[in-house]
Amino acid sequence: MALISGNTLFGRSLARQQVDTMFYIMGGPINDALLAAMAQGIRGIDVRHEQAAAMMAQAYARVRFRPGVCLGASGPGTINLTTGLANALIDCAPVVAFGGASPMAAFQTGAFQEIDQLSVMRPVTKYCDRVLDTARIPEYVDMAFRQAMSGKPGPVFIDLPGDLLYRQVDEDKVYWPPLASERVRSRPAAANELIAKLVERLAQAKRPIILSGSGVLWSQASQALHAFVDASGIPFYTTPQGRGVIPEDHPHAYAQARSTAFKEADFVLVVGTRLNFVFSHGKPPRFSPDACFARIDIDPAEATCSQRVDIPVIGDARAVLEQLTAAIAGRLSPQSFSAWRQTLAEIEEKRGPAAELKLSTDQVPIHPLRLCKEVRDFIDRDTILCVDGQEILNYARQSIPSYRPGHRLNSGPFGTMGVGLPFGIGAKAGKPDQKVVVLHGDGSFGLNGMELDTAIRHKLPVLIVISLNGGWTADPDQNKPGRNLGYTRFDKMAEALGCHGEFVENPQDIRPALERAAAAVAKGQTALVNVVTDWRARAVTASFTSFST
C-alpha cells in the first residue's frame, strides 16, 4: 500500500488544474503544501502582505482569463486575504484562495491561531468550504476551480486544516475527478422569444446605446460584441472594468458625448455588467425615464435585480450576442441609426479640442491631466495599464483610452485603494512579455508600496508612475481629517529597494523621465517615476453616493 500525504495531494491537484503561478506568504501549516506545489513546477511568488497576494491573483486572472491562485497561513495570514477577495467578489473575478488552518483535531480548544475562517470568508467569496478528509483534497481543489469559473465568476476559498495536510492516506483510495479544464465551458443561449422581443424593440428605437462591462471579458465575448456593434450601427460605452473590449478609437465610440448619449437614449442594451452606481442605476435624470432597458447576464438574479430592466435576457454574453447578430440580419445594418451617431459625433468633434487643451496645460505644480496626457502618449496600444487612487483614477478614466480586452485594470466598483502595484505585478506575472504601467495616487501607493520588493525579487519589472499631490484626494480648503501626507520621496524609497527612481516637478520633464524609466524596465529593473502634481486639482465625476437623508 503506497501512502501519500495531503500536502503532496494538494501540489498534484494544483498541477492538474494547470496552475503555473501562485501568490502567498509562507507560514504554518502551508509550507510543505507550497513546496509540494513547487515540486510540480508551479511558480511561487511570495509577497509582503497577503491582501496583495489576493490582488495579484485577481490581476493574473483578468489578463489570463483563468483563475488566479493565492494562499495564506492560518489565522491572520488567511484573514489578510479578505480585502483582496472582497474586491474580487464585487468585481466578479475568479480567484481561488487556500488558507491553512489550525488542526481539526484541536478545533474549539484554543489552538494556536484558531479562528473560524469559514465564517470570516463566507461574506467575501462566491463559495467556501473546508477539507474534511485528506483523501478528498483533489475533489475540493477541483470544486474550487469549477465554482470560480462557472456562471458568474468569483472568488472561492478552501480551508486546509493542518493535520489533514500532513496526514498520510492510501494513494489507491484517492479519487481524481475529471479536470475542470477538460470540460467544455457552458455557454447558455437566450430563449428565442426574448431575442425576438429584444430585436423588435431595438428596431423601433431611434437612439440606442450599448453599455458593456467585464462580463464580456469573462465570456470571451469581445469579438462577438465588436461584430454586433459593426452590424447594428449602435454606439457603445463600457464600464471602467470593461474597457478595451472594443478599441476606444472605434468609429462608434463617442467618449466626449457620454452624458448626452445616456440622457437621450431611448433603448439601452446592458451586456455583462451591473446597472449600479456607475450608471446611476439607470435612473433619471442621467437616463431618460422613457428609455427601454434590456439586460444580458448569465446570472438570473443579476439580470432581474434592477427596477429598470424591461427585457431581462439570461444567457452567456458571447452566445447571446451571436444570437442577436444573426437575428438583426435584414432588419438593421451598419448604416442604421446614422442620424443618432451623427449627433454624438458632432458633440465629440466640438468637445474634443477643448478636452485636449486641458490636457496640455504647462502649469506648475503639474496638473494631473497633463500627467495623464504624457502617460497616454507614451504607452502603446498593447500596454496593460493599472490605475489606482482617487483624483488620478478619475482623471485617467477621462483621458487615457484602452484598446485591448483585459488591458485596463482598476479597483472596480468596490473602490479598494492599494490595488495598483499588486495588480501591476499580477498582470506582469500573467503576461511576462507584456509592458505593464501602473498609474498610482500617492495615498493608495502607500498601502502596498513594499510590493516593489516583490517585483524586484521575482524579476517582474513594471513601470510605476505616481501622482504626488501630497495626500488623499484634492482639497482646496485643506480641511479633510488626515488628508495631508506630505510629499514623500517614493523615488528614493524605490531606489533603496533596488528600483530605478525619477523625481519630476516640471511638465516638460515627464516624458524624458518616462523614457529613462522604460529603458530600465526593458533591462529588467522595476522603475518608479514620482511626479509632483497640483493638490488643488479635483476631478469632476458622478456622485457615487449620498450620506444625507
Residue 264 near residue 288 (C-beta atoms within 8 A): yes
Banded model confidence at residue 403, pLDDT cuts 50, 70, 90: very high
Q: How far apart are CA 26 and CA 34, in angstroms?
A: 8
User: CB atoms < 10 A from the CB of 518, how many?
Assistant: 18
Sign, CA torsion 364/366/370/376: positive
Cell matching residue 198: 429584444
Domains and CATH numbers, the chain: 3-182 (3.40.50.970), 192-347 (3.40.50.1220), 360-532 (3.40.50.970)
Q: Which residues contact 329 (CB under 8 A, 6 or more apart)?
A: 231
Give per-residue pLDDT as tens, 180-215. Answer: 555 556 789 999 999 999 999 999 999 999 999 999
Please calculate the CA angle 359-405-355 and round it to the nearest 5 degrees: 15
Residue 227 contacts residue 317 (beta carbons within 8 Å)? no
- Stronger pLDDT, 438 or 111, i.e. the higher one: 438
- Judge whether residue 538 has pLDDT over 90: no
CB neighbourhood size of 442 (10 A): 25
Grid cell digits, residue 527: 522603475
Q: Averaged over 65-88, what is the pLDDT?
A: 97
Q: Which tens digits make up the pLDDT trace of 490-501?
A: 999 999 999 999
Q: Is the pLDDT assigned to residue 547 strictly greater than 50?
A: no
pLDDT at 120 over 50: yes
- Distance, CA of 189 to CA of 174 (rounded, Å): 37
Query: Residue 544 has what pLDDT?
Result: 46
Over the stretch 367-388, which tens digit does the pLDDT of each residue have? 999 999 999 999 999 999 999 9
Grid cell for residue 310: 424591461
What is the DSSP-derived secondary structure letter of residue 242?
G
Provide the pLDDT confidence category of residue 549 given band limits of 50, 70 and 90: very low
Q: What is the pLDDT of residue 459?
A: 98
C-alpha dist (Å) from residue 179 to 67, 119, 139, 395: 14, 28, 10, 44
Q: How far apart are CA 546 and CA 220, in angstroms?
A: 35
Please give the Cα distance from 286 to 263 (Å, whole number). Answer: 5
Residue 235 predicted with pLDDT over 90:
yes
Across-strand partners of 5? 168
Task: Return the percentage of the chain with pLDDT > 70, whole number.
Answer: 97
Q: Do 463 and 438 meet the contact criterion of CB atoms below 8 Å apart?
A: yes
- Summarize the confidence of residues 418-443 as an average pLDDT: 98
Place of cell 500536502: 7
Question: How many CB atoms within 10 Å of residue 175?
Answer: 9
38-47, 304-313, 321-330, 521-530: least confidently modelled range: 304-313
Q: Check pLDDT > 80 for residue 62.
A: yes
Give residue 541's pLDDT: 63
pLDDT at 548 over 60: no
Look at residue 182 in the predicted model and tell me its pLDDT. 53
CA distance 18 to 414: 30
Residue 478 has pLDDT above 50, yes or no: yes
Q: What are phi and psi of 69, to 5 degrees?
A: -125, 135
pLDDT in tens, 264-301: 999 999 999 988 888 888 899 999 999 999 999 998 88
Q: Cα separation of 109 and 415, whole Å? A: 38
Evaluate if pTM is beyond 0.75: yes
Interatomic CA distance for residues 274 and 356, integer angstroms? 31
Percent of the chain with pLDDT over 90: 84
Number of C-beta neighbours around residue 61 at 10 A: 27
Average pLDDT, rounded, for the chain? 93
How far is 519 from 525, CA to CA, in rounded Å?
9
pLDDT category of residue 506 using cuts at 50, 70 and 90: very high
Average pLDDT over residues 313-334: 95
- Compute the distance between CA of residue 410 and CA of residue 415 in angstroms, rounded to an integer: 8
Sign of torsion, CA 37 40 46 52?
negative
pLDDT of residue 397: 92
In this predicted structure, what is the pLDDT of residue 178?
Answer: 86
Q: How confident is the model at residue 108 (pLDDT cuts 50, 70, 90)?
A: confident
Average pLDDT over residues 256-260: 95
Q: What is the amino acid identity at position 529?
A: V
Local confidence band at 114 (pLDDT 50, 70, 90 cut-offs): confident
- Using the predicted structure, report yes or no on whether residue 240 has a pLDDT greater than 70: yes
Amino acid at 290: D
CA proximity to 528, closest of 506, 544, 504, 507? 504
312 closest CA partner among 322, 323, 299, 327: 299
The Cα 195–Cα 209 span in angstroms is 17
Would the pLDDT of 79 be above 80? yes
Lowest mean pLDDT among 103-112, 161-170, 316-325: 103-112
Read off the amino acid at residue 396: A
Residue with grid cell 462580463, as numbered in its chain: 215
Q: How is residue 508 written as a grid cell?
A: 516638460
